[in-house]
Structure 1
Amino acid sequence: MPMIEVTVPEGAVEAAAAERLREELATTLLRWEGAPDTEFFREITWVYWHEIAADRLAVGGRSRGAPRFRVEVTVPEGALSQRRKDGLAADVHAAVTAAAGLDPARALHVWTLIREVPEGNWAAAGETIRFAELKKISQAERETSVAS
């Protein structure tokens, strides 16, 4: 049930590249969570794309700085070890810089924030979702994939 929110200045990423980036970010997060890349898990992995007017971003309090990108990833607590968080952050950075045509060495132009929702604080369809239940569903999805 991960969510990804990407905030970008208008025009910083071309439409086709943005479409590919949203797909790549979902794929990347599923991989680092260890979730199977199935239709069920795709359906519960949402990517919100927020474009803001270029003059609405201030860098150092000054308008019209070079584009900056914020990627916020929200996952259930326990879904990502520190090793997985590190890998996710590196892959998100690479994907965003590639989509925007930026030199990957410009590290401070892409910030990734990983937020963990404590157990018992995430609900869907009117019911609290437990991480242990997601793990069971993940295992069942894997077994179904292998059987197919």
Structure 2
Amino acid sequence: MPVIRVTCPENSLTAEQKQQLAPLLIDAVMVQEVDPVTEPARNATFIVFNEIPQQNCFLGNEPFWLVEGITAAGFFTQKRREAAHTAIGKAFVTVLGDDGSEIELNGVHVSPAYLLRIYALLIEIPEGSWGCSGSTYSALEIGHLIGADQDPERWSELKVNAARHSTARPS
């Protein structure tokens, strides 16, 4: 049940685009926690669009989007992080379309070029720090709530990762 925050200059997305983008971003991040995405997981995820006044936003006079997917530590492996980043980019292309622009950056072809102005940050909250309804929830408790325990392979991966994160926590 991630929290997703999209920060962008005001009016860089229409109300309709936000409405289309929200479920795509939820699925982009959520599918890395539980696959397939369950209704309880989708319903426990919220997304916030923070629009900043133009005079407070700077990136070469171009619109940009900062997408923060905040999850409990333990759900992501590097492969899952990369898949989430790819899915976030695809969500924007689905909604904003391909404007035909392209750019090459260090030998990598990027199209549409506005993908370079989408910063996706996956923020993993340390074990024991995720709270809801006045209680603390572990990654395993969250995994059980959202149905990650229905896939034995995924559940095993989460248990190993959560144990690693729990052991690494200094307090």
Mark yes or no: TM-score above 0.5.
yes
1:59 partner SS = coil
AA in 2 matched with 1:32: Q
Shift of 1:29: 1.7
Give the counterpart letter for 2:70 in structure 1: T
* Cα distance between partner residues in 1 of 2:98 and 2:117: 9
The CA distance in 1 between the partners of 2:50 and 2:8, in whole Å, is: 6
- The 1:5/1:110 distance shift into structure 2, 3 A limit, reads same
Structure 1 residue 32: Cα displacement: 2.0
> Which residue of structure 2 aligns with residue 80 of structure 1?
76
Q: Are the structure 2 counterparts of residues 12 and 101 from structure 1 closer, same or farther at C-alpha, using a change threshold of 3 Å?
A: farther
Identity of aligned residues (%): 29
User: Is the contact between residue 70 and residue 125 of structure 2 (CA under 8 Å) also seen in structure 1?
Assistant: yes
Gaps of 5+ in 1: 144-148
Equivalent position of 1:146 in the other structure: none
- Superposed, which structure 2 residues align to 1:1-148 within 5 Å? 1-59=1-59, 65-101=61-97, 103=99, 104-139=112-147, 142=150
TM-superposed CA distance for 1:47, in Å, is 0.3
TM-score (norm 1): 0.82
| Contact residue 69 and residue 111 of structure 1 kept, 8 A | yes
User: So what's the TM-score if we normalise by structure 2?
Assistant: 0.72
**Letter matched to residue 89 of structure 1:** H
Count of residues in Structure 1 that have an aligned counterpart in Structure 2: 139
**Structure 1 residues 83, 140: closer, same or farther in 2, change over 3 A?**
closer
Q: Is the 8 A contact 1:9 1:68 kept in 2?
A: yes
Structure 2: gaps spanning 5 or more residues: 100-111, 152-171
Change in CA separation of 1:46 and 1:109 when aligned onto 2, cut-off 3 Å: same
Return the offset for 1:40: 1.8
SS in 2 for 1:99: helix
Farther-moved stretch of structure 1 (96-105 vs 76-85): 96-105
Amino acid of the structure 2 residue aligned with 1:108: L
